[in-house]
Structure 1
């Protein structure tokens, strides 16, 4: 169907060459010589775009624009004017025009405006698809040649960038190709972790990444020691692509000083990774040093009740006499974060806020059909995150904090992945229930399908009894019991889970920002 354009100008006869130019390119152009006729036509017909003269007798262009927006709020209107006065431009932009052209206009200007406002989505989709097709082979080579942790962070950054761009594409075929490449990357990353993870704890490890238990000591505390007051925001379940989705919202208030990816410890679950983050210790060392503060998987009590105490103990061990305040927001609307006096709170050397809302989204998506539809795939999940953040009390706090001269650090404990492929595992009643890892003493599984840690101490993991071992799901696998298997699989397939080994779960953002 031809693109339909309405051109409104009291001197329309002088624009005949432009109209012929557009009609030769198969655009359907209707004309009006005054605002009243234009409004009648907009009410009666569907147009894709309106060119509107600013200076007309009777209803002015600005008055006509306002009336058009009342009738068809989403109809793009391009203002055409002889005036270069800034005040008129400001009025037009404030009235949400799609474009602004100054007479005399030439055919290429007109054509460009049409392409920007009518064909933009299609053109961007086609260009993005073409660009990714060209990049596909190079990324595949990088995946095949990745040997170090740094190699994998570069690959994940590139894949995340393409994920964000391709989310805007209408080409379902290219989305499938990207999903296949992401799966290939996770397969190879799983092999990399299986081959290297245990060696990262050796004293002479050559490719030892930054991990959860070193973040406070090596990344957060040095910033405070330089004389900065720090607001540390730990967003549970926060993936790197989710950070990319909200970065532009934060940009008017904060400038990124440092951005890097570090590795969550295994299991990539809150109980292990977040406790390691705040304790500055691996889970096994936490359990050994603070047995009263460690809760095993099978114990029916909260697993993250002692984060503040673990952080206090870390500061004490390192001789850090920081004035610190800690708060956890675990509900959708927790009220005023840090109470009513944010300025006073931010006088502390370290203000810590743990925010669990994205984790709430993940669990709600598993349990509620409506949430599954709202976050049907990765693109929708990321979009939902951005929408939540834009209207959240957390964003309001971050904006307000920029006026108080602190450094803002945003990070997480682990990411999450959409699981698809069930792997059968048999365990006893004491086996942990997480879908991405299992800890137990009588596990039965196919060793080729998982990463097994028969000696938990080698991965610095605690064990509930002498014969306890761990297994971790790889890629988009999830661990399912044989009993009631079909129901279990259908219920959890395509849900977002964490605890295992994938790029999305393990490679997580650490971002330090300075107020503008």
Structure 2
């Protein structure tokens, strides 16, 4: 603590001698001044860690001195001390980014608390967070050994994400590594759980979670009404942890009413999961009922070109023809800004659907562009990059406009994504699909321990490309690598973000309902 230099500015500084002695006994170094002018001179001569500043002084007032200090050293914490409780002084001081605001008479412990809040905050928070996680670690480990239902998996995953974000800024790398190993263990166990239970979810005798194909009917429709317009935003490829760092930004405009995570169907890939949301059907049913809209992996052409048509057909099937709706897909900043400019025209719709395709492009860019690989080197960096985009995106402008116009807001996604670390060898023929987290084709050769196999895709309502087609899904953080040119393939795709397989990150995804503030 003996390296902390305090500048205390007060025209009655002699009366504060007991406070100064108290701080010096605790090894703080205190320099005193009796005017704003003296304080500015002292700052030009010496570096200080914090300033205590009296508001009511002759000559330069406290607020005037504060402005001078901030012009010179904007990041220097300044604690304003004043006899006055007038609101305009508080507002002016807060507007000038003061670190704290104390009302005279102050006692030494108030000063000490302010110092700890401003100078020792990160260490204290880090120590407390680490201690709390150490206690929670044992409980999570016990839960992990006993978890046996989809509700319990959702709760466990939410806990892991909470601690991942809490530990994000602490300096204890060991704790972060422990959490990472706990996440890995959770994904191994989750893979086993899905392998054992996923097939049962399509049996009418078994209880299943809300999934992609039941989401619209079970979760969206109950929120729709003719009395208030609803904006449904589907952010492609949004992980649960990314949603959690977006949440405080959205809270500036909206109040959260409910948060109900749901499960993406397999494969956790856009053409399957997002089409299932809009059609209300599983892929094999889409292929059978809408052959002109559905494309299999090996077919040429875009796989998500008919979401608006799928939505239209589902709304008719559910008897919602009295509700007016529009569908918009945003794939670049230009179309995002155009929607912002025209958003007011949507207020007469009962339902406006916006599919926003940025996060998915970000994950693909990490694979293909070296600079994005560096910017999103791990989950923490990937979250940060996604948050930076969101704060400056047309999507946030759309949400703000929706709040002003009184829209209810529903935010969700089609699937998440996982940072793949370990290759798993696979061999297939030319007709085998290309995705790194799932494969479909005939005569597939693979490592059995690494995958969940659907030898008869129809059991989990997936289409078969031919009579002997099989689906395999990679578990945990594995990715499929072909025998040919294996080493190049592995080095190119390792530590990239992929989706299509079985992991907490890909399958457990957010569904959140808000009302405007």
Q: What TM-score do the two structures reach when normalised by structure 1? A: 0.97
Q: Distance in 1 between matches of 2:97 and 2:443?
A: 65
Structure 1 position 10, deviation (Å): 2.0
1:444-475, Cα deviation, whole Å (9 max, x unpaired): 11111111111111111111111111111111
1:453 paired with 2:454, answer yes
Corresponding position of 1:437: 438
Q: Distance in 1 between matches of 2:123 and 2:95?
A: 27
Corresponding position of 2:312: 312
1:140-181, Cα deviation, whole Å (9 max, x unpaired): 111111111001111111111111111121111100000011
Corresponding position of 2:214: 214
Corresponding position of 2:262: 262
For the Cα contact (< 8 Å) 1:332–1:357, is it kept in 2? no
For the Cα contact (< 8 Å) 1:337–1:394, is it kept in 2? no
Corresponding position of 1:285: 285
Corresponding position of 2:407: 406
User: Which ranges in structure 1 are unaligned for 5 or more consecutive residues?
Assistant: none
Runs of at least 4 residues off by over 6 Å: none
Corresponding position of 2:244: 244
For the Cα contact (< 8 Å) 1:256–1:513, is it kept in 2? yes
For the Cα contact (< 8 Å) 1:337–1:397, is it kept in 2? no
CA RMSD of aligned residues (A): 1.5
Structure 1 position 337, deviation (Å): 4.7
Structure 1 position 45, deviation (Å): 2.5
1:109 paired with 2:110, answer yes
Q: Distance in 2 between matches of 1:43 and 1:373?
A: 39
Structure 1 position 212, deviation (Å): 0.2
1:272-299, Cα deviation, whole Å (9 max, x unpaired): 0001110100011111111111112122
User: Which ranges in structure 2 are unaligned for 5 or more consecutive residues?
Assistant: none
Q: 1:43 to 1:376 in 2, by over 3 A?
A: farther
Q: 1:415 to 1:34 in 2, by over 3 A?
A: same
- Most deviating of 42-51 and 196-205: 42-51
For the Cα contact (< 8 Å) 1:473–1:500, is it kept in 2? yes
Q: Distance in 2 between matches of 1:335 and 1:231?
A: 15
Structure 1 position 228, deviation (Å): 4.1
Q: Distance in 1 between matches of 2:16 and 2:508?
A: 58
1:192-236, Cα deviation, whole Å (9 max, x unpaired): 000000110001113x10000011111112222575432110000
- Most deviating of 491-500 and 333-342: 333-342
1:307-336, Cα deviation, whole Å (9 max, x unpaired): 111111112222220211111001144343
1:70 paired with 2:58, answer no
1:360 paired with 2:400, answer no
Structure 1 position 11, deviation (Å): 2.0
Corresponding position of 1:131: 132
Structure 1 position 397, deviation (Å): 0.9
Q: 1:339 to 1:87 in 2, by over 3 A?
A: closer
Q: Distance in 1 between matches of 2:342 and 2:304?
A: 26
Structure 1 position 32, deviation (Å): 2.0
Q: Distance in 1 between matches of 2:443 and 2:461?
A: 20
1:467 paired with 2:464, answer no
1:395-437, Cα deviation, whole Å (9 max, x unpaired): 1111111122322111100011111111111112221111111
Corresponding position of 2:188: 187
